[in-house]
Chain A
Amino acid sequence: MNAPAKIQETKAEQSLNAQFDAIFAQTTQENANQRKQAWDAFKAKGIPHRRVEEWHYTDLRTKMNDAFALASKTAPKAEALKGAGDLKTHRIAIVNGRYAPDLSSDQDVAGLSIAQTNGFLAAQLGTDDAMAHLNQALVQGGISIKIDANAKIELPIEIVRYTDGSQVSSYAGTAVEIGSGAKALIIESFEGDADAAYQSNALTEIKVGDKADVHWLKLQVESAKAQHIETLSMELGAETNFQHFIYNEGASLSRAQLFLEFKGEGTHAGLRGTSLLKDNQHADITLFVKHAVPGCESREYYRSVVDDKARAVFQGKIIVEQAAQKTDGQMMIKTLLLSDTAEINAKPELEIFADDVQCAHGSTTGDIDEDLLFYLMARGIPEAQARKILVLAFLSEAIEEFEEEQCVELLEAMTRSWLHADDMVSE
């Protein structure tokens, strides 16, 4: 009776066991190894919990009561997909983890190739994250997107990720390769049936060449009962401009984990976002930014508005390796707490091994400024409206830095809608 106590498997882990067995039985010889390796790597860790440092503030083991069954292939109506709204785009739809050409637009675009894949990725994440491993163990499908060198894609490329059904889960793997000198705007939305409880787990690898110009907007507008996990790995070439923005509004629980590595010198990367949280929402943004080469600039600016009993989690680690001289890294987290029960856990970190760098990080948390509120009210603006103006202003400051006009407009409209301030005067 002296055997060491074994950690009990949770109900969710037991469900995952059965799901893996079922999907593994159908896996072709060619992918069996990769699936099995990913599964073993996941099993070695289990569902992350608060004693895993990177997951300390997001105890998934407690929050994930069950692992829903793998979603089957379905065909939702085209109207169900929101994506980037009325913007004219090249649409790529992924439903329940699988490429859905019927819901996608004609992909005959010069310089752009899209191919259905089985979702397995090279997964050179430089991380050993359990939920990324789980994605590859259960992956249902995916796509690869390639943009040719020097291609300028005029319209935004819109990736709509839709989870169709309730009590289901979806796992997609996406590989994106953007050639040197290319220019593109990608708008990616994560969504699903309204009010449906489901789980989505996406793993995406983006490789960008030299002298490219890429804007990537993620709209996380999952159903209010969804659990959303996204792992994004980014590698950037030299003299590239890469701007990423997360709009975080949906899901009862969400986690975006971003791994960014500079592979070439003279590159600028911006990781930004806004989180709009209420009720019991829990939203986690976790970054690992690695400056491995000299002369790159990174900006990590996130703003959150947290109401009711919601909780925002931000963890950001900037690593500056010894070779990465002349690195310029600035991280700033700003949060407005709109209720006494709202919460933010912010953990910005710098690890610097080079001696000639400019790095800073900071975090501010507060309530709406009473003096600003009084100023607006003294001009005749009623309190409720004045509060909305100040929340919108707080978020707009972050949104405007994305510098893609059509996205700024879209984000401000979505923010106004969240605030129930659609009638508010815009600029």
Chain B
Amino acid sequence: MLEIKNLHAEVDGNKILRGIDLTVRPGEVHAIMGPNGSGKSTLSYVLAGKDDYEITEGSISYNGVDWAELGADERAAAGMFLAFQYPIEIPGVATMTFLKTALNAQRKARGEDEISTPDFMKLVREKSKELKVTPDMLKRPLNVGFSGGEKKRAEILQMSLLEPTLCVLDETDSGLDIDALRVVSEGVNQLRSPERSMIVITHYQRLLDHIVPDVVHVLSKGKIVKTGGKELALELEKNGYADYVGEEAA
């Protein structure tokens, strides 16, 4: 279970998060919506443990572990996965090599045995087929020359291989056409399970037609200003954020 209490965070001295309280139980999917600049991506980076994103007040704990004590790699090994809004290109690192390195690093951190190469190959082949990730993409350097849709599919492939229990999807729908959105959403939906918590960060309601959330939160100026069911997303789509953020969204 993820418990965020009165979270304040800043980047380069700029206060972005101003007191977030959020509890996500296993099996739940929470959507976080909000206008640009409300702190959605900052929240995802703070959860994943990016340097320069400093918690100044409050706390994050996951399954009873104080998140502030763990580095980004340790959080990943403890079940955290951030699907990036802009998956970064890493020239010189073949996608396949990277996937195996990441999987084995997490297994090692958890005191498990490394996966054998044949088992790994089999696993990747299965999962990549579902997500329409071609063998050619796996041979290429990570994300280099991938289209927007390919990058997002590659993110979900990583998620499916690493089997995290806490998934944060940061604007996964951005840059996707309708077909790509469907493939990615199906990939995410297959990963929904009673043990897994998900936070879906999005600007638009359309992603939530495909990944239907249990709870919807509206983030504004670094605070959650409204929480409701999935119907809240539809209301936002119709009326915009103006009711919740005041003059700024006008």
Q: Which residues of A contact B (CB under 8 A)?
A: 370-372, 374-383, 385-386, 389-390, 392-397, 424-427
Verify if B91 is at the interface (C-beta below 8 Å from A).
yes
Known contacts A371-B88, A374-B50, A374-B51: A382-B97 contact under CB 8 Å: no
Q: In the complex the two chains form, is A375's CB within 8 Å of B84's CB? A: yes
Residue in contact with B72 in the complex, picked from A378, A390, A394, CB distance below 8 Å: A378
Q: In the complex the two chains form, is B73's CB within 8 Å of A380's CB? A: yes
Complex Cα distance, B48 from A383, in Å, reads 14
Q: In the complex the two chains form, is A393's CB within 8 Å of B72's CB? A: no
Residue in contact with A382 in the complex, picked from B80, B91, B105, CB distance below 8 Å: B105
Verify if B77 is at the interface (C-beta below 8 Å from A).
yes
Verify if B94 is at the interface (C-beta below 8 Å from A).
yes
A-B interface, 8 closest residue pairs, ranked by CB to CB distance from nearest: A393-B92, A380-B76, A380-B106, A377-B72, A379-B102, A377-B73, A396-B92, A397-B92
Verify if B232 is at the interface (C-beta below 8 Å from A).
no
B98 / chain A contacts, CB cutoff of 8 Å: 376, 379, 389
Known contacts A375-B88, A378-B72, A380-B105: A370-B51 contact under CB 8 Å: yes
Q: In the complex the two chains form, is A397's CB within 8 Å of B51's CB? A: no
Known contacts A389-B93, A393-B92: A381-B51 contact under CB 8 Å: no
Known contacts A380-B77, A382-B105, A394-B92: A374-B72 contact under CB 8 Å: yes
B71 / chain A contacts, CB cutoff of 8 Å: 377, 382-383
Return A86 CB to nearest CB of chain B, in Å.
22
Nearest B residue to A394, CB-CB = B92
Nearest A residue to B53, CB-CB = A374
Complex Cα distance, B50 from A383, in Å, reads 12
A383 / chain B contacts, CB cutoff of 8 Å: 71, 73
Q: In the complex the two chains form, is A381's CB within 8 Å of B88's CB? A: no
A396 / chain B contacts, CB cutoff of 8 Å: 92
Return B143 CB to nearest CB of chain A, in Å.
9
Q: Which residues of B contact A (CB under 8 A)?
A: 48-52, 71-73, 75-77, 80-82, 84, 87-88, 90-94, 96-98, 100-106, 109, 141, 158, 162
- Contact sample, A vs B, 8 pairs, CB 8 Å cutoff: A370-B52, A374-B48, A374-B72, A375-B88, A378-B50, A380-B103, A380-B105, A390-B93
Known contacts A370-B51, A372-B88, A396-B92: A380-B102 contact under CB 8 Å: yes
Told that A393-B91, A427-B96 touch, could you supply 5 new A-B pairs with CB distance under 8 A? A372-B90, A375-B84, A378-B49, A392-B92, A393-B93
A386 / chain B contacts, CB cutoff of 8 Å: 73
Q: In the complex the two chains form, is A389's CB within 8 Å of B72's CB? A: no
For the A-B complex, the count of residue pairs with Cβ-Cβ distances under 8 Å equals 86
A390 / chain B contacts, CB cutoff of 8 Å: 90, 93
Complex Cα distance, B100 from A424, in Å, reads 10
Return A370 CB to nearest CB of chain B, in Å.
7
Complex Cα distance, B101 from A374, in Å, reads 15
Nearest B residue to A374, CB-CB = B50
Residue in contact with B82 in the complex, picked from A372, A378, A381, A393, CB distance below 8 Å: A378
Complex Cα distance, B109 from A376, in Å, reads 15
Nearest A residue to B80, CB-CB = A378
Complex Cα distance, B49 from A377, in Å, reads 9
Return A297 CB to nearest CB of chain B, in Å.
23
Q: In the complex the two chains form, is B102's CB within 8 Å of A427's CB? A: no
Complex Cα distance, B80 from A382, in Å, reads 14
Complex Cα distance, B141 from A426, in Å, reads 13
B48 / chain A contacts, CB cutoff of 8 Å: 374, 378
Complex Cα distance, B76 from A39, in Å, reads 65
A425 / chain B contacts, CB cutoff of 8 Å: 97, 100-101, 104
A397 / chain B contacts, CB cutoff of 8 Å: 91-92
Q: In the complex the two chains form, is B76's CB within 8 Å of A377's CB? A: yes
Return A135 CB to nearest CB of chain B, in Å.
37
Nearest A residue to B76, CB-CB = A380
Return B109 CB to nearest CB of chain A, in Å.
7
Complex Cα distance, B71 from A389, in Å, reads 18
Return A156 CB to nearest CB of chain B, in Å.
25
Complex Cα distance, B76 from A380, in Å, reads 5
Q: In the complex the two chains form, is B49's CB within 8 Å of A379's CB? A: no
Complex Cα distance, B10 from A151, in Å, reads 67
Complex Cα distance, B90 from A323, in Å, reads 42
Complex Cα distance, B100 from A392, in Å, reads 16
Complex Cα distance, B48 from A372, in Å, reads 14
Return B76 CB to nearest CB of chain A, in Å.
4
Known contacts A385-B105, A425-B97: A379-B162 contact under CB 8 Å: yes
B87 / chain A contacts, CB cutoff of 8 Å: 375
